[in-house]
Amino acid sequence: MPEAGGLYVHLPFCPYICPYCDFAKWPHRRSLAERYLAALEAEIAAAPPFTAQTIFLGGGTPNTYAPEQIAALVARLRERFGLADGAEITIELNPDLALCEGFDLYRAAGITRASLGVQSFVPSELETLGRRHSPSDVAEAMRRARSAGFDNVSLDLIFAVPGQTAESWSASLEAALALEPEHISTYGLTIEAGTPYAAWSEREPHAFADEDAEAELYGIAIDRLNAAGFEHYEISNFARPGFRSIHNALYWANAAYLGLGVGAASYLGGVRSMHARELNVYVTAALAGGPIPGEAERLEGPARVGEAAMLALRTVEGVELTSFGERYGIDFLSYYEPVLREMLGLELLEVTLQRVRLTRRGRFLANTVCGAFLSSDR
């Protein structure tokens, strides 16, 4: 039986490059984008046996490709990886309207979920982030998505943007809610080494939010989105009932996934791997029939358990003690007793008969908690 799980496909071209971004991405050039699609096709043909339960087209900016190209890619993926009819297929979209002409074709291809990279509804913040769409573009993209039949739309927002205040962040949340999406993701801005933002933060550290200011903004999002009926089901993700991301849930459940494309990560047969992030290296290797250079690591023993615990703790359900214990052959509470004792003392975790999960305070310090499980010297 082939492994089953989430299929991720990386489409790395963007209409422009944002100064905070550390993803594997390149400015769009038609000839390069065509060659990349041919490389992806070659990788699809050479891919290991795998049954896709979900597909996620991420980037980059997938909608730099023509809608017809996206539809053909999805058809090829469905055929090759045996996706069930009606299964979740997500596409990430830049709400720049010139790139948002394809909703009807996406729907016809079986794409069920659109994720719009909104980031902010405040024009000055969009400018700071180097984004070229306007808040009204987002409203129009949403209207087009709805009229094409998308009933599952997610909006991405960023907090801790330089210049952002509690008021402007609240305004973005209100504007997002006014568009009635099914799902909202909120990400704290991170300064990634080597980006223009990293240089900016070196020059002007005070332009960037400190931990307390960032926590305040995160708290505002949690309270407002909960009040609006969104379930805070994962550290960065909020959904109306029935609209959690099924694809991302597979990651948090430590399920198998296959990643295709430059820099894409996979977890197959207990091995985590990542393709090279150099575009030329990927394209050349894929067109030659593979293998794609990159890194691979077999997760075993405590590293495997720690990784699974870290992923599960991101979710509102946390670690479900019985099923986790059966899957990894451990008694979670005794296996992690010292870490649990420390985290309980700090009121970052709560333990019930069934599960261990983050407290509200723990969600603000999730990296600390997850890091403690990963580095626990078992």
Interface contacts to ligand SF4, rule CB under 6 A: 14, 17-18, 21, 23, 25, 59-61, 94, 117
Sheet holding 294-298, edge to edge: 231-234, 237-239, 183-188, 153-159, 113-119, 89-93, 50-59, 3-11, 256-260, 265-268, 271-275, 294-298
CB of 20 to ligand SF4, least distance (A): 7
67-81 and 30-46 helices, crossing angle to 10°: 10
Nearest Cα residue to 169 out of 183, 182, 188 = 188
CB of 151 to ligand SF4, least distance (A): 25
Return the SS3 of 225: helix
Q: How far is the CB of 28 from ligand SF4 (least distance, A)?
A: 9
- The distance of closest approach from Cβ of residue 61 to ligand SF4 in the complex, given in angstroms and rounded to an integer, is 5
Q: Least CB distance from residue 19 to ligand SF4, whole Å?
A: 9
3-state secondary structure of 94: coil
Residue 59 forms beta bridges with which residues? Answer: 11
For ligand SF4, the closer of residues 15 and 110 by Cβ is 15
Nearer to ligand SF4, 50 or 197 (CB): 197
- Give the H or E element holding residue 9: strand 3-11
> Least distance (Å) from ligand SF4 to the CB of residue 329?
40
* CA 169/CA 93 separation, integer angstroms: 22
Q: Which residue is nearest to ligand SF4 (CB)?
A: 21
Identity of the residue, 25 or 355, whose beta carbon is nearer to ligand SF4 in the bound complex: 25
State which residue, 191 or 253, has the beta carbon closest to ligand SF4.
191
| Closer residue to ligand SF4 in complex, CB, 17/346 | 17
In this structure, are strands 319-320 and 355-358 parallel, antiparallel, or unpaired?
antiparallel
Nearest to 117 by CA among 132, 104, 107: 132
Give the nearer residue to ligand SF4 in terms of CB position, either 58 or 306.
58
- Shortest Å distance, C-beta 91 to ligand SF4: 13
Which DSSP category does 347 fall into?
T
Q: Which helix (H) or strand (E) holds 57?
A: strand 50-59
Residue 29 or 298 having the CB closest to ligand SF4: 29
* Cβ(272)–Cβ(299) below 8 Å: yes
